[in-house]
Amino acid sequence: METITRTERLHVRKMTTDDHLSLARIFEDTDSMHYYAGKTPDASSWLDWTLENYRKYNIGMWVVEHEEDGRFLGQCGIVPHRIDGHVEVEMGYLFVKAEWGNGYASEAARACLRFALETLDVPRIVSLIDERHARSVNVATRAGMVKEKELLHRNRHVSLYAIHQN
């Protein structure tokens, strides 16, 4: 399993097909997927999409595990995404509901952004967030992202948060 980055509490690594059951815990939870845009994916199609992103772009969603005991906490990563006619690099994050409120998503987002900006030299990263999803807004802002604008994307009103290289 290829490590992407680590923090004091987290190990962030590339996904493998062995992560299927862990991912299913997120996708099968209606609370976790409430603000997800479009049809809720299943773990198999998500894994296929992620592994294809690794092959094509060498980026994708990454598994976030607890550093101490290795338990699956969720996922966080960056993917290419067409927004307003331009391809942007978007950060996303989805965590197991039982792990909410522990700061793991914010910590993972900061680590993934730092990796993308500094190691991969990505000049700008965005997140599309439904403003009603206060937890997601908090993760983005705690990670240093700033709201730039509101837009209609895939028939949903969302806010675009962004961070740029220094």
**Which residues are paired to 150 by β-bridges?**
159
With a cut of 70, say whether residue 159 has pLDDT above it. Answer: yes
34-75, pLDDT tens digit by residue?
777 666 688 999 999 999 999 999 999 999 999 999 999 999
Whole-prediction pTM value? 0.94
Higher pLDDT, 1 or 72: 72
Give the per-residue pLDDT at 104.
98
Task: With cut-offs at 50, 70 and 90, classify the pLDDT of residue 7.
Answer: very high
Q: What is the DSSP string of 104-131?
A: HHHHHHHHHHHIIIIIS--SEEEEEE-T
Give the per-residue pLDDT at 39.
66
- The overall average pLDDT reported for the chain is 93
Give the per-residue pLDDT at 38.
63
Give the per-residue pLDDT at 22.
95
What span, in angstroms and rounded, lies between the C-alpha atoms of 138 and 144? Answer: 10
Lowest mean pLDDT: which of 2-11, 40-49, 105-114, 140-149? 40-49
78-120, pLDDT tens digit by residue?
999 999 899 999 999 999 999 999 999 999 999 999 999 999 9
119-129, pLDDT tens digit by residue?
999 999 999 99
Q: By three-state DSSP, how is residue 52 classified?
A: helix
With a cut of 90, say whether residue 158 has pLDDT above it. Answer: yes
Residue with tokens 């927004």: 83
DSSP state of 25: H
Give the per-residue pLDDT at 31.
80
